Structures are given as C-alpha cells and as structure tokens.
Structure 1
Amino acid sequence: MARNFGKIKISDYARLSINPLRKITQEQKIDPNPAKRSITLQLGDPTIFGNFPPPVALISALSNAVVHDKFPYNISYGKFEARQAVAEYSKHQGEISPDDVILSSGCSHALEMTVLTLVQPGENVLIPRPSYNYKTWIDGMKIETKAYNLDPEKSWDIDLVQMESLIDDKTRAIIINNPGNPCGNCFSKEHILEIIALAERRQLPIVADEIYEHFVFPGIEYHSISSLSKNVPVLTCSGLSKRFLVPGIRMGWIIVHDRNGVLDEVKQGLRNVSARILGPNSTVQYALPDILQNTPQRFFVNKMMKISYNADLAYELLSKIPGLKPIKPRGSMYMMIQIELDKFPEFQSCLEFTQQLIREQSVLVFPGHPCFNYPGFMRIVLTVTDGMIKESCRRLKEFCETHAKL
C-alpha cells in the first residue's frame, strides 16, 4: 500500500543561507502608489536604466570569444592567459604572478571561496557593520561573524578599538571592504596602515573585498590594502562586475599576496576549492585579456564623473529634508542616509519608514536593517538618471514633511 510522503526537510546550509536584500525585493508584498511611477533605488545594478552601458571593448571582446573559444573545461582555477591578464591589470596592488591568481564566478564567489578556505565551522571572521551581506554564505557553513563598527561621523572609518576587542583565539581573518558597500567609504592611506598594524599585531590575514577598486570620486585617492602591507598576508577579491558595469557576467578573482611564504597551503586550498565548480565561464575567460587591456581609461573617468555628480546632487537635496541626514560618500555607487526616527514617532524602525515610503511615494530603498545590520538608516544607489535622483528626493521631501513631528 502506497504511503504519503511527509515534508522533506532542508539542510542547515540551505536554511541559513538567506540574503536579506533579495528576500525583501522578492518577498515584500507592498503595493506602490498606483498614481506614481515607481523609482527603485535598491539594487546595485547599473544596467537597469540604460544610462551606464558597458564598454564597447568588452562587447567586442565577448563577441570575438563566442566565435573563437572552443568552450572547453579549463584549469579549474583559471586558464593561464586570463590569470596573466588579471596579474597585469592588478599591478597597482604590488608584484603579482599569474600563479597568485585564482579565477571565480564573480567576486561574491571569490569571497566565499576565500573564507571557506581560511575558516572552519565554529571559528569566526570579522566583518564590517554596516556591510554587504557576507552572512548569506558564511552563516550556512556555521562560521561565526563578528561585526566591527564603521563610524558615520568619521566618513565610515573603522572603530579600531572596538574591532580589536572582538578578536579571540577562534578568529581567523578580517574582511575589509574598501571602497565600500553600502557606505560609499574609501579609507585613507593612514587609516589602512592602522588596520594593517592591528592585523599584524594580532597575526591575522586580511581578506580585502576590493570589487570597487578605483571606484572613487574625483579628488579621492584609492589605495589597495595589499600595496601597503609589508608583513600581513592579504587575499584580495575583485572582478569585472562593478567597475566594468556588467554584474551579470560573473567573473571574479582572488589574488594571493603572500608575505614570507605563509600562504602556500592557502593557495593550494583555494585551487582545491575552485574544482568544486570546475572553474568559471570559459568564454568570459577567453575574453578577459582583451577586456582588461583594451578598455580605455576615459570609460572609467566618464562613469565616475556621472556617479560623482549624482552623489553631489543627492547629498545637496537630501541635506535639506527634515529628519534625514545623508552621509556623503567618497566612492562606490551608494549613499547611506540616517533617518532621525525620533522625528517620525509613527515609525518604530527604518523598515517601517521605507515600507510606508513605497506605499505613499513609490520610492523603493533598502532599510539599514535587516539589509545591512544597521538600524536607523536607509541606502540608495547612485546609478539612476539625474532626473530620477531629483524626483525621488522631491518625493522623499514630501513624505518627510507629511510625517515629521518637528
């Protein structure tokens, strides 16, 4: 006699692998105001509105690769020509050999590979607060995250005293995101040297999330962590998605900056882990040397001028709105805005504030919590058109004037 199946349970890995940004966008059942066209300032995807097309050289390189690549299995950590191109492209980080490079399926994958190579279940890794959602893939592996604070009053510099207080005998690495998401921070050379000194004192490697490398506004100087480290081993994670405006292309890399031969086993471990998916897309690997070598500098300059203009425009308009306190970014494509909730007593949280903003004004933003582990704030993206920046700020002003109790 046939028996009915009971509910099939999922693993802890699946249950704990939650991305709050995607969860909100996919599961939040809030209807925008039908009388107002929706403006989304949520996902950091510069391709949505057509105002930031990818470089022509990238399209040409991909077209050529589709014709000429044989679509083989490559070495799992990347074909030599692609790794050689990454080493040359990344020479601002220091002396790099193709053997120091491991290719991945995007920067998120690079970060996941790196942490899972360095850290065992039951051990811990330090992550920033607020931060990009590192916990999505860390929590599922039963690795603990400890959040160190970024200070909005100091352009989001790290509270180094608080950071060091988190370190214990199970801490295995420090993740540093610079330039940063969601804050738009870019650390000074002096601050990076302070971070490196702490890591050396506590004998911890740094995992440098530098997907926004060079992604800084005019007048701001960017320094890679590895270029300033003499003794601390650094594993730098980056990729094509942000600087080249192609988030869906899923091509990233890890660069192993060894110091005194302490990462030999780690490098082999990363190569072992890369075999889990047999390496990233073959055709993009084929195109990678042309993309990195032939994209003109003017493409990057023009992009940053546009985003910097949007940042200045948004900061100027938001600064005039009662109850909001924008924190001026120095790079990447985001701005964090403090919501002075004491002036909006009907809202108990930034989540409630942003949900009602959707209902009334059809402006979609991410709340600081749960998205970035930072209550009382919201994040906007700066890659929309300047017209959308102006209109969304106008609607935010109307919303705040309606609800604020000054």
Structure 2
Amino acid sequence: MDSYLIQVNGQGDHVPLLDIHLKSNGNSMSLGKVKGRKPRWAVRASEMSKKTFNPVRAIVDSMKVEPNPKKAMISLSLGDPTVFGNLPTNDEVTRAMKEALDSGRYNGYAPSVGYQSCREAVAAYYSCPEAPLEAQDVILTSGCSQAIELALAVLANPGQNILVPRPGFSLYKTLALSMGIEVKLYNLLPEKSWEIDLKHLESLVDEKTACVIVNNPSNPCGSVFSKGHLQKILAVASRQCVPILADEIYGDMIRDGLLRLSQRILGPCTIVQGALERILHRTPPDFYHNTLSILKSNADLCYAALSAIPGLQPVRPAGAMYLMVEIEMEHFPEFENDVEFTERLISEQSVFCLPATCFEYPNFFRVVITVPEEMILEACSRIQEFCEMHYQGAEGAQDLECDK
C-alpha cells in the first residue's frame, strides 16, 4: 500500500491558498494550488454545561406515568410551602414588598453584594455576642442556590473534592460537578435520626478536600442535629483542618474572594432588598410559631399513619418540611427499586412521592408535609391501600422469587 506525506507550503498568518505535494514511494507529484477550507459553524456546548446534571430532574422528568384518572392527584413531592394555600405569606411581608415596589426607590441596579442598609439589617438580626456580625460579613444573593454556588466557587478549585451528605440536597452535587469539583458522599444514619456517620466522614478527607457540607435541618430528611452531635462534627473538621459549608457564608478567611465572585452578577432582587428590613423586624413571631405548629402537626400525623403500614418504615423528622420513608423492598419483590415503586404509586393511586434515588439513597421515598391535613390523611390512606395490594410476607416473597 502506498504511503503519502502531505506537505503544506506557505508563510504568514493568513494563507488563502495551499500548495500541496504528495510523495508516493519517493516520487513527488503536485496537485497545484487549491482553495483553503471555508470556515464552518461549530458552536458547541461548554464543558460546564456538559457536566451539569440534576438527578431530581433527570429521574422525575423521565417518569412517563399517568396518574389514576379516577383519583385526584396528590403531590407530596414538591418542597414549596405556598402551593396548597395552607401556609400563606404573612401580610406584613406582602405589604413590605408592595411598599418597596410602589416607592420606586428600588428599580435600578444595586451593589452586587446588596444594599449597605440591607446588609446592616441582616447583620443586626443574626448577630449575637458569641458570633458578632457586621454589614461587611453579609453578602446578599438571589436565593440559597446562588449562595451555595458562590460558597463552592470560593472554597474549591477544579480537581479538588467536597464532602456531601447522603441522602442530601441534590443541588450540591449538581453545582460541584459542573465546576469540575469531585463529590464524595458521606453517609447519614437513619437508625440515629439521620446523624452523620462521623467515622465514614473523616475517612473521606484527603489533601484535596476543600470543604464538608453540613445540611441542618436537612433536606430530604427533616432531621435536626443535637448540640452534642454538632460539636462532634466540629471536632472532625477542626482535626482535619477542613472548613464547613453549613448553608451560610464560611467565615472571614474567604470574604474577599466572595466579594469578587459576587461581582459576576448584578446582585439579588432590589425590590426584596427594599422590603427586607421591614420583613425582618415587623413579621410577627406568631407567624413563625403558627407555621411551625402546622408542620409539626402534619409531621406527627404523617409519621403515625405511615408507621402503621406494613412494609414501610418512616423516620420521624424534627425540622424542615420533609419526611423520609424506607421501603422494605423484600416485601415488594415485584418492584426493582424505589423509582418503580413510586411510579406505580402514581399510576394506581395518584400520589406522587419523590424516590430517594434522587438524593443518592435508594429504597426510600421523600414526603413533603406542607399539604393540608385532610390531604395528608387521604394520601396516607391511598399509600396504605397500595402497599396492602402489593405487600408480600416473607413466605410469599420467597415463592415469587422462585417463580422468576
């Protein structure tokens, strides 16, 4: 077979024509002048976009399940307390937002870190003698998601790793991987009300660990760590010299970096900033107390109802808006995993619970407890009917396995 060597002759930055010579077995032949290639469109997605993956969206969006048309849909999947109207926004907050909008004072650009007066208001609200805050300690963001993104970006470089709870809020992993940061998952222990497995956590730390994320109260678990457990977490972080990202800005050592990163955008919503001081100081304490009372009542009701269902093991929550339920899969052998279980729950009973595979924790599902009481009772009744229909005792499950 002939071998060819292509020689390209030409000088300068721009060579419109190429002189190509082919050498075949030592004999040279010229093809003469040919026109250079025309530029072609090659608009490609960025590496960051290719690395961005949200497991909740990937799993939920792939569910092609129609609910039972004979039963009204009950969604216990979305963590939005306003959807069902039983946890309305306080009137003081609404009035503060309207007045800020009507004033016309907050329609322009604000400093990227937030208005100075707003930062002062937040600092004063959260400051305490043990941990005093000043305005310069506060950076306002467009929601918690942007705060998490800023904190991760200032703490970690591509190639480093962060420690993330399992089960845990999926956005941590989504943001980290998009930035080229490795994610290591440390275990939470359901038998200990989702406390951190501290030995496992510490075993994951290496020279490339940039921070450990502590989500407390937890999404999806609804757990709240005791003071003693928090002190043990601090001891691990101190021993390993690893900072903690606890859904808040991490300390003075990275403040300057955060200031620079905050300038990548135009800052948080100015109308909210205009209403912020009033929201912080005029929202009555009863609003928070009543909201917490509703959530506690719903959590107790849901926990009690689900505990009575064979094949399910709920873990009692202590905070947030969520409750995690273990599926004893050995008693539901017709389902491969929690995703199949929840899909069938939708199609047969029109109850939508989020499979915990979304949170890196298979064979559980998450229930949102912000819905009205009567809806919780109806949903739990349907879940019970579903489980009773598909539940197999130890003997039945074994026979089914043998039939496969």
TM-score range, shorter chain: 0.7 to 0.9
Among the aligned pairs, what percent are the same residue?
Answer: 47
In structure 2, do the counterparts of structure 1 residues 372 and 401 end up closer, same or farther at CA, with 3 Å as the change threshold?
same
SS at match of 2:347: helix
* Residues 87 and 101, structure 1, Cα contact 8 Å, conserved in 2: yes
Deviation at 1:4, TM superposition (A): 12
SS at match of 1:177: coil
Q: Distance in 2 between matches of 1:161 and 1:199?
A: 12
Q: Distance in 2 between matches of 1:103 and 1:81?
A: 11
* Residues 106 and 274, structure 2, Cα contact 8 Å, conserved in 1: no
Deviation at 1:25, TM superposition (A): 4.0
1:392 maps to 379
Match status 1:19 vs 2:48: no
SS at match of 1:103: coil
SS at match of 2:211: strand
2:256 maps to 268
1:331-346 alignment, distance < 5 Å: 331-346=319-334
In structure 2, do the counterparts of structure 1 residues 31 and 188 end up closer, same or farther at CA, with 3 Å as the change threshold?
same
Structure 2's unaligned 5+ residue stretches are 1-37, 394-404
Q: Distance in 1 between matches of 2:60 and 2:119?
A: 35
Name the aligned partner's letter for residue 333 of structure 1: M
1:267-346 alignment, distance < 5 Å: 267-346=255-334
2:152 maps to 115
Deviation at 1:74, TM superposition (A): 1.4
Structure showing greater radius of gyration is: 2
1:227 maps to none
Per-residue CA distance 1:332-357 (angstroms, 9 max, x = gap): 00000000000000011011100111
SS at match of 1:34: coil
Q: Which of 36, 60, 63 is the equivalent residue of 1:28?
A: 63
* Residues 96 and 257, structure 1, Cα contact 8 Å, conserved in 2: no
Name the aligned partner's letter for residue 64 of structure 1: E
Name the aligned partner's letter for residue 386 of structure 2: F
RMSD: 1.6
Name the aligned partner's letter for residue 124 of structure 1: N
In structure 2, do the counterparts of structure 1 residues 162 and 70 end up closer, same or farther at CA, with 3 Å as the change threshold?
closer
Name the aligned partner's letter for residue 384 of structure 2: K
SS at match of 1:172: strand
In structure 2, do the counterparts of structure 1 residues 355 and 4 end up closer, same or farther at CA, with 3 Å as the change threshold?
farther
Q: Distance in 1 between matches of 2:62 and 2:181?
A: 26
Per-residue CA distance 1:238-292 (angstroms, 9 max, x = gap): xxxxxxxxxxxxxxxx4x533xxxx1xx111111111111211111111111111
2:137 maps to 100
Deviation at 1:15, TM superposition (A): 2.2
1:45 maps to 80
* Residues 339 and 355, structure 2, Cα contact 8 Å, conserved in 1: yes
Deviation at 1:22, TM superposition (A): 3.0
Q: Which of 228, 241, 262 is the equivalent residue of 1:190?
A: 228
Q: Distance in 1 between matches of 2:324 and 2:106?
A: 45
SS at match of 2:214: strand
Q: Distance in 2 between matches of 1:161 and 1:27?
A: 36
Q: Distance in 1 between matches of 2:85 and 2:40?
A: 49
Deviation at 1:160, TM superposition (A): 0.4
Name the aligned partner's letter for residue 37 of structure 1: A
2:365 maps to 378
Deviation at 1:5, TM superposition (A): 8.0
Q: Which of 337, 342, 351 is the equivalent residue of 1:363?
A: 351
Q: Which of 229, 251, 254 is the equivalent residue of 1:257?
A: 251
1:223 maps to none
Q: Which of 101, 108, 115 is the equivalent residue of 1:72?
A: 108
* Residues 124 and 144, structure 1, Cα contact 8 Å, conserved in 2: yes
Q: Distance in 1 between matches of 2:61 and 2:339?
A: 15
Deviation at 1:7, TM superposition (A): 8.2
Q: Distance in 2 between matches of 1:347 and 1:91?
A: 51
1:175 maps to 213
Name the aligned partner's letter for residue 46 of structure 1: P
The structure with higher relative contact order (CA 8 Å, sep 6+) is: 1
2:32 maps to none
SS at match of 1:278: coil
* Residues 368 and 379, structure 1, Cα contact 8 Å, conserved in 2: yes
1:143-154 alignment, distance < 5 Å: 143-154=181-192
1:62 maps to 97
* Residues 310 and 387, structure 2, Cα contact 8 Å, conserved in 1: yes
SS at match of 1:22: helix
SS at match of 1:335: strand
Structure 1's unaligned 5+ residue stretches are 210-235, 237-253
Name the aligned partner's letter for residue 32 of structure 1: P
Deviation at 1:18, TM superposition (A): 2.1
* Residues 173 and 205, structure 1, Cα contact 8 Å, conserved in 2: yes
Q: Distance in 1 between matches of 2:40 and 2:377?
A: 55
Match status 1:9 vs 2:47: no
Normalised TM-score (structure 1): 0.84
